[in-house]
Amino acid sequence: MQSCVDEFLPREGRLTVVDFGSRTTQKRVDAQMTHRRLLGERDVEWIGVDVRKGPNVDVVMKKPYRVPLKRGSVDVVVSGQVFEHIPFFWASALEIARLLKPGGLFLMTVPSRGHPHTSVDCWRYYPDGVRAMAAFAGLTVLQATTDFPPRGGGPRHQYHQIKTPGHYWGDTVGVLRKPHGYPDRRLAVVRGPILWWANRAARHFVSSRRARPLPVPLTTAARQRSHVD
């Protein structure tokens, strides 16, 4: 995320930045442990949004697929390690596109590999997943990369060579731009019913999850064998 900020965000001028999925589990918010620190000395109005109130959250989303901010009011949206936890991510992508000003940027990091790590963990992403998301939401792809393991002289990545905790997780990085001339009216016809249905379906998703047992936590020994510590 830091490399994306350094490469794509202007250093001059005031920026309105939304941190999408900003809630932290820390009781005391340390700016050095949030995305706020990545923008350094830039002039920023920072808005943390999440579905639950808590540390690092400025605006609570009463509906999981509706951000209570005006259309075209945001210069940058950042979202780090969030989209794997969003059941209907295509709806969120449409909502982020609505928030952005023409020319605005969406910076995302999301796991490409790794074990389920919260009670809701739905997806892993590759570059084509970022491109598909962008195409659906009408955004332009500036970057879509994944830190795949090395290849073994053929098409297959050598996942068995991942032996250290630092390489157990993999990330996909996406940088998307809202183009000038974005078809707001046309996509509003799509976005309206999709967000309505996603917010409605979210209740059924939660109910269905309550009916199934949660995964059994790994023991310390199992975590060590799986390199997940």
Domains, the chain, with CATH or none: 2-226 (3.40.50.150)
Give the pLDDT of residue 151: 72
Give the pLDDT of residue 159: 72
Nearest one of 94, 46, 85, 88 to 67, comparing CA atoms: 94
Strand-strand pairing, 170-177 and 140-146: antiparallel
Give the pLDDT of residue 165: 66
All residues at 6 or more sequence positions from 8 whose CB lies less than 8 Å from its CB, including other chains: 105, 107, 142, 143, 175
Each residue's pLDDT, cut to its tens digit, for the chain (229 residues) gives 999 999 999 999 999 999 999 998 766 656 557 888 898 889 999 999 999 998 889 999 999 999 999 999 999 999 999 999 999 999 999 999 999 999 999 999 999 988 888 889 999 999 999 999 999 999 999 999 998 877 777 777 777 777 666 678 889 999 999 999 999 999 999 999 999 999 999 988 877 766 554 444 444 333 343 333 3
